[in-house]
Chains A and B, each alone.
Chain A
Amino acid sequence: MDQRIYVANAPASVIHANRKRKSAFQEFWRRFRKNRLAVAGLVVVVLYILMAIFADLFFSYNFITQNQISNAFAKPLTSAEIDDGNTTAEHLYILGADNFGRDILGRIIHGARISMVIGFTTIAFACLVGSALGAIAGYYGGKIESVIMRGTDILLAIPNILFALAIVAALGPSFQNLLLAIGITSIPAFVRLMRASVLTIKNQEFIEAARALGARDFRIIVRHIMPNCMAPIIVQATLGIAQSILSATSLSFLGLGIQPPSPEWGNMLSDARSYISYAPHTLLFPGLAIMTVILAYNLIGDGLRDALDPKLKR
């Protein structure tokens, strides 16, 4: 039965000479801003990103990977002497030192760089590949869709850790392989999301209109369908970054990911395991770093979802 619902023109949305026109972004930002937690999360993430970019300004990479056994387990806010063979200097360990005498704060800051890189590259990869596959699956349907979706299901059925283990066992433990493993296991979420969005949009009349104009499939998918599916993808990407970082720390914690002496947060946790009662600060601060970043990303993701959801508009 055809839908002949009387479509109400909301006159309030009509352009009038005396009304300022708000761009879509300004409207989105206004809504996002209202969510204090999301904004707090954004501030935290921006801080971490800045830390990651300017890590070298605070501490050199050499410094934080070099052992200073004499200062092992220095308590937070204590000073100790650093002897690098040539000179000796006083150094304030703001967050204390780990079991090798390395500055924890410095390692956390450099660790932020590693985490951000992992987060962004894996998700960028998964997003591109996953969205493309999802869009193709959703648009063409039939056998193509079946193949892609079953492949995705298989990927989802394999536990992430096991998959990473397999990659590492086959290709060896390295940074690149870690990125590959995490990237691949992040793909399914995007495939599913994109496919679902495409299925919804595909039947909208403006898609049919494009076809009536003679547009080719590629143009329709790339210029009409994908831009209209961005909202859930953006949300998933944000949450996905958090998941990636967590996966990376877990894998490194198990020794499958980044190898020491890299200041990856998971490694730091792993090293600190044995010294919990003795020097809790070696575990506490890396743990807090992980927690705050993950929490911040999740808050942003939730805030994005609310701000982008047209139904929640007041």
Chain B
Amino acid sequence: MHEPSGAAPILQVKNLKKYFQTPRGNLHAVDDVSFEIQEGGTLGVVGESGCGKTTTGRAILRLIEPTGGSILFDGMDIISLDKHRLRMVREKMQIIFQDPYSSLDPRMTVSGIIAEPLIIHRRVSGKKELAKRVQKLMEMVELEDRLYSAYPHELDGGRRQRIGIARALALEPKFIVCDEPVSSLDVSVQAQILNLMQDLQDQLNLTYMFVTHDMAVVKHISDEIVVMYLGQIIEKAPAKELFGHQYHPYSRALISAIPKIESAGSDTSTVLRGEIGSPIEPKPGCRFAPRCEYCIDKCLSENPPSKAVGPERYAACWRAEEI
């Protein structure tokens, strides 16, 4: 695991909101989310459907326009940037997508895809220079030279994902949002890509925001983890500690629901009842209350704020300390 430097946080997100308008009211996809990431570190963002983790990642890059809040990247306020400056900042903030099949233009060759960011931002002059840069990037992600003119559909998922990573690295970014980058890959290939991402992080001092639903993966790769539920962060903890003890009932249920190989046959999970609620015009009070076994009256009327429950540990639960 990568140890982050003690420098100032490279990304500071405060009270980020994203609401979508639907016929039935506002959809609170991301509701008052705040966190920081240190340069060179990895923040894992986990949660199930509708928790808003994917929207958060895209909102930070302004691929989706935030409804409110502030995003400070290297001290610069991203939200207020105009189109021109935003394009410049985009060089430093990149994204790797989940689906290696649909995130690559099927009509472009491997080299075309990797070269595109360099062409758009006019970083390189001359075809030879460009080819050299592309080859270097391919080498960095361990893509064979002979695939230079290949098409994505000829390659397997692992190789395609490497193309996506090379493309994200082309502009030498500092920060990369990784949106479920290994979820669509075969198990043995996942390991290769995860190792590659860790190596690249060490080599290039990259900062990752790693969005995933896979708890084992997030434990492996993150320094710090935030757990999201229906648009809110309900727990924040260093990766090593979260799996030992959870302060929020949802985190606890989530972690115990993971099917573990060791507990083969025995059923030790706390199986949550009910379904994930609706993010449209959520009722006042804790959003997890309807499914929570520790629910008390206060939970139904007031939404618990995130409060410190230990060193570097935060949970949004009225009864966090008791649990």
Contact = CB atoms under 8 A, between A and B. Distances in A.
On whether A and B touch (CB less than 8 Å), the answer reads yes
Interface of A: 1-2, 4, 6-7, 9, 11, 13-15, 21, 24, 204-206, 208-216, 219, 224, 227-228
A212 B49 contact: no
A113 B98 CA distance: 53
Contact of B156 (A14, A206, A224): A14
B97 A209 contact: yes
A206 to B, nearest CB: 5
Contact of A209 (B103, B107, B183): B103
Given A15-B155, A212-B63, A6 B120 contact: no
Contact of A224 (B105, B180, B185): B105
B166 interface: no
A273 B91 CA distance: 71
B184 A214 contact: no
A13 B156 CA distance: 7
Contacts of B153: 13
A205 B107 CA distance: 14
Nearest to A208: B63
Contact of A213 (B98, B120, B151, B180): B120
B106 interface: yes
B101 A209 contact: no
Contacts of A227: 107
Given A206-B102, A212-B63, A212-B95, 10 more contacts: A4-B213, A7-B184, A205-B98, A206-B104, A208-B63, A209-B97, A209-B103, A213-B94, A214-B90, A216-B120
B167 interface: yes
Interface size band for B: 35 or more
Contacts of A6: 184
Contact of B105 (A21, A212, A214, A228): A228
B157 interface: yes
Contacts of A206: 102-106
25 contacts: A1-B50, A4-B180, A6-B184, A9-B157, A9-B158, A9-B189, A13-B155, A21-B154, A24-B151, A204-B102, A205-B97, A205-B98, A205-B102, A205-B103, A209-B95, A209-B97, A211-B63, A212-B61, A213-B116, A213-B120, A214-B91, A215-B116, A216-B120, A219-B120, A224-B105
A4 B105 contact: no
Interface string B187-231: 001000000000000000000000001000000000000000000
A241 B129 CA distance: 45
Contact of B150 (A15, A211, A212, A224): A15
Contacts of A228: 105-107
Contacts of A11: 156
A12 to B, nearest CB: 10
B179 to A, nearest CB: 9
Task: From B104, B105, B150, B184, name the one whose CB has the most chain A CB atoms within 10 angstroms.
Answer: B105
Given A1-B49, A206-B104, A213 B154 contact: no
Interface string B81-103: 00000010011001101111111
